[in-house]
Structures are given as C-alpha cells and as structure tokens.
Structure 1
C-alpha cells in the first residue's frame, strides 16, 4: 500500500520549466520580422522570457512593446514547443509563439537600443539561415498554424496540430 505525499513534497517533485514567448509578425509581403539582440550572435523572433506571475500572452504584449515600441494586440497562440535542458539552462523550456499579425508600416518600429542592434523582415530562406536549427521550425510551423487557424505542438522536431 502506497502512502500519499504531503502536498508540499508532491509539488516539489513535479517537473519545472522556463517559459519563453515569441511573436510572429509579418510585413505586407509575408516576410517575417526578426530582431538581432546585442547580447548574442544570433537573430530571433521578438519576445523573451515570461516573468514570475505573468501569463504568456501578457509577456508577449510586454516584450513587443519593450523591444519594438509597438502596442500590438497579440492574437492566437500558434505554436507550443518543448525543448529539453541544454547548456547552462538546467530546466526544460516551454516556448509559446503568438500571432502578432501584419505590420503595414515598419516605420512604426522603435528599437530598444539597449537590447537590440537591428531588425529585418526576412524571407523563409533568410529565416532558416539566421535562426538556430532548434528555433527555425517554430517560424514555419507558426505560419502554417496561422493559415490553418489552429495551434500546433512541437517537441524539438516535427509538428502535430491539436484543437
């Protein structure tokens, strides 16, 4: 016969992970907005880590406002991705990609120069070239999810739509 654990002990044994958000923003030609952080060598989608007590969709709105100076309404959740611990990150990562819509006037972007060196609207080939191999599938999957009007799940490779 097994004994029940006290709630504090049971909860302490559950998986813990970090949460990060990104926002898929395209221009009127369908190119994807990428940003170049000044604290790393690679490009990324606009976004960042979710703060303590913050919901992922709230973090997405905050990150776009902070990084790009845009007050966008964040739309549907397009992609949920899980990544195992890697390098200095000792916990799994849950990534939430939201739909940021189409930006018809890139002149509205006001980069936070303390954090970003630049931005670019990129073709699919440029996205694949600029993003790390583990991150690039989030963009193509997000574009598919936007078109299908669904949310898709990634687990490091492959995608499975769910409703």
Structure 2
C-alpha cells in the first residue's frame, strides 16, 4: 500500500447522511409520531443532522423546531444503516434517542408548514403508520429501552453478526 495525502484519502472515503429522531412514549407505552406535510406516512419526530452538529444535538434541535418544546436527549436506542434508495444517492445512518415519557401533548405547537398532526399510537399501530423500512425501529427502541442497550439495524432489519 502506498502512502496517500490525507486530504486525498479523506476525499475518497464514502459519504453518508445522518439523521436523528426522538423516541417518546406516554405512560401507557404508546409511541409518539408526527405526520409531516411532505410525506404520506407518519414519522418519529426528528430530522437530518446539520454539518458540524452531533446527532444528539440534532435530535434536541429538531424537537424544539417541530414540537416547540425542549426534551432531555437520553440514551441511544437504535442505530439503523440504510443504503442509498430512491432519490437519496447516499447511505443514511439514523440515530434514535430515548427522549423519555410525557403525560400529554398540551403545550405542543406544530409548525403548520412542516407537520399536520401529532399523536400517540400503540406500538403495533405506530409500526403500521411508519414506512416498512422504518417500522422496525419502534419495536427495536422499546427493546433497547427495556434492556438499556442499543439495537443495530440494517435497513430496518436485524443486522447479521460478523463472522469470526
């Protein structure tokens, strides 16, 4: 292997997008989802990580922007690696953080240009409202929260274990 200038080496590494979302439940264990105006499906509250931003900070920022409230961003629950798909030319690494339990949606103000609705759903109903490749994150987040250990998914499915 020949030595390569660091700038050249880094420029040739693959690039990917990053996103962060909040896993929030009510006291009964129902999952909070938002209905974006620009999608036909529901989603976890969250969004893309900005350049120079840490994923947990992106999660907190997105919750402030989308729900008009501050949350404590807790443990990392799920990491989901998604390959390029559709109009997204790069892979996406998605972080889901535990943002706790809330008792009601009082005081939540939705940005009308971005979100049309917000609601709690049973885990099964949440999975039905989420896209097929995102739905497994709900169950994975519940499992990770209970076990206090993150879950790694690949395109919404269980990651295969490396061969030794």
Q: TM-score, normalised by structure 1?
A: 0.94
| Corresponding residue number in structure 2 for 1:52 | 51
Aligned residues of 1:153 and 1:160 also touching (Cα < 8 A): no
| Corresponding residue number in structure 2 for 1:15 | 14
Distance 1:121 1:47 in 2: 15
| Corresponding residue number in structure 1 for 2:133 | 134
- Equivalenced residue count is 160
Q: How does 1:114-125 map to 2 (within 5 A)?
A: 114-125=113-124
> What is the root-mean-square deviation in Å for CA atoms of aligned residues?
1.4
Between 1:7-16 and 1:94-103, the stretch displaced more is 7-16
| Corresponding residue number in structure 2 for 1:97 | 96
| Corresponding residue number in structure 2 for 1:150 | 149
Residue 13 of structure 1 and its aligned partner are, at CA, apart by 1.3
Aligned residues of 1:141 and 1:159 also touching (Cα < 8 A): no
Residue 123 of structure 1 and its aligned partner are, at CA, apart by 0.8
Unaligned stretches of 5+ in structure 1? Answer: none
Distance 1:77 1:125 in 2: 22
Superposed CA deviations along residues 16-63 of structure 1, whole A, max 9, x for unmatched, are: 100001110001111000000001111100000001111000000000
Q: TM-score, normalised by structure 2?
A: 0.93
Unaligned stretches of 5+ in structure 2? Answer: none
Residues 118 and 159 of structure 1: CA distance in aligned 2, closer, same or farther (over 3 Å): same
